[in-house]
């Protein structure tokens, strides 16, 4: 819809205004004067690229939480903005459109071309999304605020608007043939889950194959960002995504797997059966640490945590902040509060920008902190904010797009099980530790004193630890988070002994577990890929000042009440933050360590490759 630019257009009743100056007459023709557009009142310091990135993040928050689709949209919008910027650089290579134009005012031409390109790409991508009316209105408002008429749709000629429209047209066409099946709603018509749905509200489980993904059936299902879903059975998101065209990824081939670290642990497999069982127990152990009433305090400062080797949690922190030259101050908090705050911060839950968008938020914050001393790679001359933003988004979102393809390629190929199904299935069979004890099954849960135990008449006696489970003798009890309280604003689920066949992860009851297979963790892959790009782009693995913080305010949790006191999460480096994003999924009960660690490793490859290729585009070393 075309809008009137009332902020700068003045209605005139005559074609010319006659002004008396001294003894003569001066004829002023209004069409001969360039109208001026006042700066937008909202964040006038933002570049146009930043403004469009923020608008896209808002659209993601309104839409259904499909990380694959949003990572693709972030990259395609970033590529469109890059192509518009690069058209006015004598050396830079365009990604989809590689044109070279000149302008008397290059800065103004870039702003205009970038805006038309971003506007039309985003409008096309979100016109059918949840929240489309609000998103499209926001896109229109930006064009209105920048004084760019919406009815300029031409793709002919050398004007900045025509260039932007031409780039958008090419990006939109590219997206229709990139393997995502955009025309078919991004679905994979060939995928069918091998396991029947798990009815979460009922105890027990039925599985055809305990190594394969199982959709959940929820009585009241709401998507991760709070949108009601009519069908209570999950539908797999993106099992075909490994065949989508990436940025710096190798082709996925017939398998649709651009990167393959090998399979996850498999129940019944001689080489990895024990790892499957051990990692399920590890998830239970993390779940058992979600209780603030245990009054266990831990130091979560960068001086005590972080500096992990890739694909591990073996770090012992950083001895000093390299910026201040001083040790990091201790940050001692309740273990249960830390675990819950960490899980919810990185969950990217209601109204979130999803994991790839989350790292755009991180990048924008870092950029604001570094400005105006912006040096790409940490060296060389300072650049203006538009150049910084356009190049950063191109590299960062190229990496997250590749991370989505790499991770979902593995999810689609291995179709691996989630912890809720693993734990319930093995608990339904019994215990696998001792053939001489009751309820033995070689595929049952391993016993772990104080964590996974056999329910007996002795343990269910009055005052005994399994007393609340009386009547379930012979079953398997696990000590874990006890589930969602009736009133999450005032109550906590707590940790205690529950039936293994009823266990649920620390999530809201309308979500429970993401709607796609587990291996590898998307959070881990997105996060490490982003950390690699931010490290290379800024020239340092450390956040500005050597520290980044996020405070979860007392009483602000969503899943249940808490924390009792403010909890400030801290990270020295981008890698530390990325590792904690992966770790949060173990506390949240939706991934096993193999999902996390493998995701970190392929994420590292995605990030490094994207940065290397982005630099070639910056320098004009790609294409002709």
Which domains occur in the chain, in start order? 48-182 (1.20.144.10), 244-623 (1.10.606)
Integer angstrom CA distances of residue 403 from 293, 343, 478, 521: 38, 21, 35, 10
495 near 572, Cβ under 8 Å? no
Q: Using CA atoms, how far apart are residues 355 and 123, in angstroms rounded to an integer?
A: 22
Confidence at residue 6, expressed as pLDDT on a 0 to 100 scale: 34
State the alpha helices, DSSP H only, in 371-384.
none
pLDDT tens-digit readout, 56-99: 999 999 998 899 999 999 999 999 999 999 999 999 999 999 99
In terms of C-beta density within 10 A (0-12 exposed, 13-18 middle, 19 or more buried), how is residue 38 classed? exposed
Q: Where are the alpha helices (DSSP H) in 127-200?
A: 132-145, 160-175
pLDDT mean across residues, the chain: 93
Residue written as tokens 């937008």? 40
The two tokens of residue 31 are 């069409």
Mean pLDDT along residues 404-422: 98
Q: Is 221 left (phi over 0), alpha (psi -120 to 50) or beta?
A: beta
**Which of 446, 483, 477, 480 shows the shortest CA–CA distance to 464?**
477
CA neighbor of 50 nearest in space, from 69, 72, 80, 78:
78
Q: What is the pLDDT of residues 11-22, one digit of tens each?
A: 323 323 333 333
Which residues are 285's β-sheet partners? none
* Burial class, 617, CB count within 10 angstroms (exposed 0-12 / middle 13-18 / buried 19+): buried
- Mean pLDDT in residue range 514-542: 98
* pLDDT in the model for residue 64: 86
Report the distance separating Cα 341 and Cα 520, nearest Å.
Answer: 23
CB 479 within 8 A of CB 529: no
pTM: 0.93
- Determine the pLDDT at residue 229: 64
The answer, yes or no, to whether residue 541 has pLDDT greater than 70, is yes
For residue 47 the two structure tokens come to 């570049």
Nearest to 574 by CA among 545, 598, 543, 537: 543
Dihedral class, residue 439 (left if φ above 0, else alpha if ψ from -120 to 50, else beta)? left
- What is the DSSP code string of 473-539? TTSEEEEEE----S-TTT----EEEEEGGG---SS-TTTSS-SS--SSPHHHHHHHHHHHHHHHHHT
Q: Work out the burial of residue 340: count CB atoms within 10 Å of its CB; fewer than 13 is exposed, 13-18 middle, 19 or more buried.
A: buried
CA torsion sign, 540 to 541 to 547 to 550?
A: positive
Pairing of strands 495-499, 476-481: antiparallel
Joined tokens for residue 395 = 């590299």
Instruction: Give pLDDT tens digits for 13-55.
Output: 332 333 333 333 333 333 334 568 999 989 999 999 999 999 9
Distance CA 127, CA 554 (A): 38
Q: What pLDDT was estimated at residue 27?
A: 36
- For the stretch 219-237, pLDDT in tens is 877 654 556 665 589 999 9
CA 323-328-332 angle, to 5 degrees, is 155
Report the SS3 class of residue 570: strand
Our measurement of the distance from residue 287's CA atom to the centroid of its chain's CA atoms, rounded to an integer in Å, reads 23
Reported as a single tens digit per residue, the pLDDT across 569-583 is 999 999 999 999 999
Question: Residue 502's pLDDT band (boundaries 50, 70, 90)?
Answer: very high
Q: Measuring CA to CA, how many Å separate 166 from each of 15, 98, 188, 375, 406?
A: 34, 11, 30, 31, 30
């Amino acid at each position: 819809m075309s809008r009137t630019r009332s902020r700068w257009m003045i209605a005139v009743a005559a074609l010319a205004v006659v002004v008396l100056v001294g003894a003569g007459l001066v004829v002023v023709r209004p069409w001969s004067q360039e109208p001026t557009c006042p700066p937008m009142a909202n964040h006038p310091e933002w570049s146009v690229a930043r403004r469009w990135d923020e608008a896209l993040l808002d659209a993601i928050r309104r839409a259904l939480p499909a990380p694959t689709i949003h990572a693709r949209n972030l990259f395609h919008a970033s590529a469109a903005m890059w192509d518009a910027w690069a058209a006015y650089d004598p050396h830079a290579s365009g990604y989809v459109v590689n044109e070279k134009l000149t302008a008397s005012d290059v800065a103004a031409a870039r702003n205009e071309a970038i805006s038309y390109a971003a506007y039309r790409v985003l409008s096309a991508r979100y016109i059918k999304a949840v929240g489309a009316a609000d998103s499209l209105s926001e896109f229109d408002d930006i064009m209105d605020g920048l004084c760019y008429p919406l009815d300029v749709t031409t793709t002919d000629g050398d004007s900045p608007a025509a260039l932007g429209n031409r780039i958008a047209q090419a990006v939109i066409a590219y997206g229709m043939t990139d393997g995502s099946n955009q025309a078919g709603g991004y679905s994979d018509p060939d995928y069918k889950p091998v396991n029947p749905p798990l009815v979460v509200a009922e105890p027990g489980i039925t599985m055809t194959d305990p190594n394969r993904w199982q959709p959940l059936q929820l009585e009241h299902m709401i998507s991760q960002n709070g949108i009601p879903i009519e069908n209570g059975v999950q539908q797999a998101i993106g099992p075909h995504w490994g065949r989508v065209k990436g940025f710096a990824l190798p082709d996925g081939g017939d398998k649709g797997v651009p990167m393959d670290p090998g399979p996850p642990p498999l129940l019944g497999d001689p080489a990895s059966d024990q790892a499957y069982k051990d990692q399920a127990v590890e998830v239970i152990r993390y779940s058992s640490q979600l209780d603030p009433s245990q009054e266990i305090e831990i130091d979560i400062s960068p001086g005590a945590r972080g500096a992990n080797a890739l694909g591990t949690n073996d770090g012992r922190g950083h001895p000093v902040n390299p910026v201040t030259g001083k040790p990091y101050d201790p940050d001692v908090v309740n273990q249960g509060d830390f675990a819950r705050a960490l899980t919810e911060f990185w969950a990217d839950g209601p109204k979130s920008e999803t994991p790839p968008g989350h790292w755009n938020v991180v990048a924008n914050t870092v950029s604001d902190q570094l400005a105006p001393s912006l040096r790409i790679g940490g060296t060389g001359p300072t650049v203006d904010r538009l150049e910084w933003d356009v190049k950063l988004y191109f590299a960062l979102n190229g990496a997250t797009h590749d991370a989505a393809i790499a991770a979902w390629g593995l999810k689609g190929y291995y179709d691996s099980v989630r912890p809720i199904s693993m734990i319930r299935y093995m608990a339904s069979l019994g215990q696998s530790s001792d053939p001489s004890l009751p309820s033995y099954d070689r595929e049952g849960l391993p016993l772990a004193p104080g964590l996974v135990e056999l329910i007996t008449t002795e343990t269910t006696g009055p005052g005994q630890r399994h007393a609340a489970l009386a009547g379930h003798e012979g079953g398997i009890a696990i000590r874990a988070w006890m589930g969602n309280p009736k009133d999450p604003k005032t109550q906590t689920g707590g940790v205690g002994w529950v039936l293994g066949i009823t266990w649920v992860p620390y999530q809201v009851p309308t979500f429970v577990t993401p709607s796609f297979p587990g291996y590898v963790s998307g959070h881990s892959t997105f996060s490490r890929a982003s950390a690699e790009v931010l490290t290379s782009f800024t020239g340092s693995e450390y956040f500005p000042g050597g520290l980044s913080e996020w405070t979860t305010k007392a009483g602000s949790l969503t899943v249940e009440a808490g924390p009792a006191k403010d909890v400030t999460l801290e990270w020295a480096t981008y890698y530390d933050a990325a590792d904690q994003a992966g770790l949060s999924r173990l506390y949240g009960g939706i991934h096993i360590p193999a999902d996390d660690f493998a995701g970190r490793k392929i994420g590292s490859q995605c990030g490094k490759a994207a940065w290397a290729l982005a630099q070639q585009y910056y320098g004009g070393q790609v294409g002709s």
